[in-house]
Structure 1
Amino acid sequence: MPQTFRAVGYLPTGATGTPFDLAILLHDERRVRRRMLPLVHGDTVLVDFPEPVTLADRSMLKLEDGRLVEIIAGEEPLYDVRGRDPIHLMRLCWHLGNRHLKTQIEADRVLILRDHVIRDMLRGLGATVTDISEPFHPEDGAYAHSHGEPQHALINR
C-alpha cells in the first residue's frame, strides 16, 4: 500500500547518501514550497518548506526517518536554438527574454519549451531550431531570488 513521507530537509547536488527512491520531476515541478511529489515506486513525499526551493537534478530530500529521496530532472519536449555566432545567439536570447520565456542558456545554444509561434519567430530571425527531448534547467529569472538577508536566499543558487 502506497505511503506518504514528509521531507524535513534538502541536500544539494553532490551530497552523499544512498537514496531509497527517486522523484522524476519536470522543471516546473522542481520549484516547490508545499507540494506532494510522486516517487518512482508509488509512494509520495510531502514537501512543506518555509520558503520556495528549486530542487536541482541529483539533489536529495531528507525524510523524517532519515532516508533520502533523489531528485531527477525528467526529460521535456524542447527546442534547441542555435545562432550563426555568439553575437547572433545573444540577440536571440534578447528576443526570448523580451517575451519573458523560460530559457536555459548555454555557451553555444539555448533551450526553450516548445511553442510553434516562437519557433517560427526564431527561424525568421535566422536561428536553427531543432526539436529535442532532455531535462530542462531554465534560468531562475530576476524575480526568483531574495533581495534581503543571505539566510533568506533560495537554497542551491
Structure 2
Amino acid sequence: MTRATRIVRAAVPVAGEIIDRVVLDHGDRHRRRMAMRGVGGTAFLLDLPEATVLDDGDALVLEDGRLVEVEAAPERLLEIRAPSEHALRRLIWHIGNRHIPAEIGPDAVWIAYDHVLAEMVRGLGGSAEPVERPFRPEGGAYAGGHAHGHAHSHDHGHSHSHAHPHAHE
C-alpha cells in the first residue's frame, strides 16, 4: 500500500500534483498512522513519525510525490456567544475549566456539541446554538501551534507508591 510520510502545511506553497482529498473530522485529523481513502478513491497509509494535527488545507505527500489534500469536515458544534467581552471571557474560563477542546474566535467560541454544556452556558447568561462547521480547536499550551497529543514521561529511577489506608471496592 502506498504510504504518506510527510505533510506540507497549508501556509507552504505546494509543489506537486494534488490527486485526491481526504475529508476528516477533528478526531481523525490528529493521527500518526491510519489507513485512509480519499474521496476520489485513492487508498494509502498515513505513516508519520509522530502523531500530528492535520489542518484544513494541508497536503499529505505520498511516496511517489503526489499529494492528497486535507479538508476539515463539518461537525456538529455549539457556537457560544455572550452579551459582552467580559461575559465571553468568563464563559471561556468555565469551558476551559472542563478541559474540553475549544476554538476561540474574536466574538464566539466553538466546542463539540454537548447539551449539558449548552445549558451551563445559558445558565451563565450566554447563548449556545448548534451549528455545523469545521472544528479547529486550540492546540494547547505545549503544542507549539499544533497539538501532538503524546504523553510526557519522566523516569525518575524510582516508583511512585499509590498505597492508601483504605480499600477501593
TM score, norm. by length of structure 1: 0.86
Report the AA paired with residue 34 of structure 1: R
Question: Equivalent of 2:9, from 9, 12, 25?
Answer: 12
Q: Counterpart of 1:43?
A: 42
5 Å-filtered alignment, 1:7-156, equals 7-14=4-11, 15-16=13-14, 17-145=16-144
Aligned CA RMSD, in angstroms, stands at: 1.8
SS at match of 1:24: strand
After superposition, the C-alpha distances for 1:90-140 in whole angstroms (9 at most, x for unaligned) are: 110100010011100000000011010000000000111111100000111
Distance 1:18 1:109 in 2: 37
98-107 or 13-22, which deviates more: 13-22
Structure 1 stretches of 4+ with a deviation exceeding 4 A read none
Distance 1:59 1:144 in 2: 17
SS at match of 2:2: strand
Report the AA paired with residue 62 of structure 2: L
Distance 1:122 1:6 in 2: 44
After superposition, the C-alpha distances for 1:14-61 in whole angstroms (9 at most, x for unaligned) are: 332441000000011011111122210233221111122111101101
Q: How many residues align?
A: 145
Question: Does structure 1 conserve the Cα–Cα contact (< 8 Å) formed by 2:74 and 2:135?
Answer: yes
Distance 2:97 2:22 in 1: 33
Larger radius of gyration: 2
Distance 1:82 1:19 in 2: 38
Structure 1: gaps of 5 or more residues: 147-152
SS at match of 2:18: coil
SS at match of 2:88: helix
TM score, norm. by length of structure 2: 0.80
SS at match of 1:123: helix
Question: Does structure 1 conserve the Cα–Cα contact (< 8 Å) formed by 2:5 and 2:49?
Answer: no
Structure 2: gaps of 5 or more residues: 149-169
